[in-house]
Amino acid sequence: MNPLAATNSLATNPTLAVLGFKRQIVYHLHFWAFVAVAPLVMVQWRQDNLLLAWLLVLFCLNAVAVIAFLRFRSRYFLQGRLFPILAVVCAVYSTTINGHAGLYWAYPAAAALFFLLPLREATLSNIVFVVSMSVVSFMRFPEADFWRITFSLGLTCLFVMIFAWLVGRLQAELTRLATTDPLTGCLNRSQLADVLNAQIEMRERYERVSSLILLDLDYFKTINDQWGHLAGDRVLQELSSRLRKRLRENDRLFRIGGEEFMLVLPETRQKDADTVARELLRTISARPFVESIQITASASVAEVGKGETWSVWLNRADQALYEAKARGRNQVASAPRRQEDLPPEDTDTLVTDA
């Protein structure tokens, strides 16, 4: 696998894009660290620092292994944990035996921790690192140098930590913006295939059956025409919050079109999803929305079938929704299930009204 592939070609969803960039960072970090450290093996060997030379050999071998795993297996060798450990040990040991010549490597090592480890882990590791370097400096250098090293290394860690924290927040915010609909806060279509595929996998592997509900407001165009787009927007916002109130924590709510929503209900059979869909329609029609707007919705329910792809599953639900609309709206239609997906006691395969 080419670790750059995820960002050279367009990633299919924002989560994959972030993973692609993380892989690139890990890949480049190990590559350039290898280029910088490999010549030092010879230097330390010639100076008879055999232990340090072997540690550096280990460092280089780990870099090669990480690069190879990323390229050919698309995963991290030992989860990328060996680089930070070896970098810190080498920097501390090298400073102990080589003085200032070893100290200079402490700064890139401190920065690398923040690129390779989760923020909390990197911060804790760096505290241990700075304290270790301070102890070595105290024993090895004059007092003025000890203070300089402690503060300059501590400040370097602080700056990189702030930078890593901001990048992490920015990444989380961009992912949120890319995966949710700004009007309603529901998930958008970018996650749709992943979420449905995860349910399909649960069905195929563990026989755990999920269902989806498609829900579409009836005659929404007339709301916009009569009360304006702003009122229409507020109806959509209130609708999503009413839907959310009825859902379980594991359920996922998508806005997949203008006034069309999709709910994914893990571990829920068609019969139970049908009950939920009917309740949802009741919560929509029972109380008026903003500006006393009275509205209804139509819904369809489809349980995932064995061997089905997500697009076939969604298509079955789509057909059933069309059926609910055609039969007069404000009702639930169950997508017909294939014979092999039916539990023995269940013969309810027909389209049913709310």
Ligand X SMILES: Nc1nc2c(ncn2[C@@H]2O[C@H](COP(=O)(O)OP(=O)(O)OP(=O)(O)O)[C@@H](O)[C@H]2O)c(=O)[nH]1
Active site members:
259
Angle between helices 106-116 and 14-46 (to 10 degrees): 150
Residue 183 contacts ligand X per CB under 6 A: yes
Q: Which long-range contacts (CB under 8 A, 24 or more apart) does 164-169 make?
A: 164/114, 164/115, 164/119, 164/122, 165/119, 168/119
Q: Which of 54, 72, 163, 219 binds ligand X (CB under 6 A)?
A: 219
**Of the listed pieces 203-211, 231-239, 269-277, 285-293, which binds ligand X according to CB under 6 A?**
231-239
User: What is the β-pairing status of strands 297-303 and 332-334?
Assistant: parallel
**Of the listed pieces 132-140, 150-158, 210-218, 344-352, which binds ligand X according to CB under 6 A?**
210-218
**Of the listed pieces 32-40, 54-62, 224-232, 308-316, which binds ligand X according to CB under 6 A?**
224-232
For 23, the token pair is 């892989």
Q: Which of 75, 229, 306, 327 binds ligand X (CB under 6 A)?
A: 229
CB of 332 to ligand X, least distance (A): 15
**Of the listed pieces 58-66, 87-95, 128-136, 226-234, which binds ligand X according to CB under 6 A?**
226-234
CB of 192 to ligand X, least distance (A): 17
CB of 78 to ligand X, least distance (A): 48
> Residue 333 in 3-state DSSP?
strand
Nearer to ligand X, 218 or 303 (CB): 218
Residues 258-277: x where in contact with ligand X by CB under 6 A, - otherwise, as a string: xx------------------
Residue 218 contacts ligand X per CB under 6 A: yes
Q: Is the alpha carbon torsion for 195, 196, 198, 199 positive or negative?
A: positive
Secondary element (H or E) of residue 38: helix 14-46
Q: Which of 194, 233, 272, 323 binds ligand X (CB under 6 A)?
A: 233
Nearer to ligand X, 52 or 215 (CB): 215
> Reduced to 3 DSSP states, what percent helix, strand and coil does the chain have, rounded to the nearest 5?
70, 10, 25
- Number of H helices and number of E strands within the chain? 13, 5
CB of 188 to ligand X, least distance (A): 12
Q: Which amino acid is at 41?
A: V
Nearer to ligand X, 25 or 177 (CB): 177
Whole-number Å distance between alpha carbons of 39 and 301: 64
Q: Binders of ligand X among 314-353, rule CB under 6 A?
A: 325, 329
- Residue number with the smallest Cβ distance to ligand X: 258
Nearer to ligand X, 115 or 289 (CB): 289
Nearer to ligand X, 121 or 181 (CB): 181
Nearer to ligand X, 328 or 343 (CB): 328
DSSP assignment string, 243-304: HHHHS-TT-EEEE-SSSEEEEEETT--HHHHHHHHHHHHHHHHHS--GGG----EEEEEEEP
Question: Which of 215, 196, 189, 195 is CA-nearest to residue 310?
Answer: 196
Residue 59 contacts ligand X per CB under 6 A: no
CB of 321 to ligand X, least distance (A): 9
Q: Which of 23, 110, 216, 276 binds ligand X (CB under 6 A)?
A: 216
Q: Which of 220, 254, 289, 310 binds ligand X (CB under 6 A)?
A: 220
- Cα 171 to its chain centre, rounded Å, is 10
Task: Return the DSSP state at 214.
Answer: E
Q: Which amino acid is at 315?
A: N
CB of 220 to ligand X, least distance (A): 3
Whole-number Å distance between alpha carbons of 291 and 281: 19
Q: Is the alpha carbon torsion for 196, 199, 204, 210 positive or negative?
A: negative
Question: Where do contacts with ligand X occur on this chain (CB under 6 A)?
Answer: 183, 216-221, 224, 229, 232-233, 236, 258-259, 325, 329
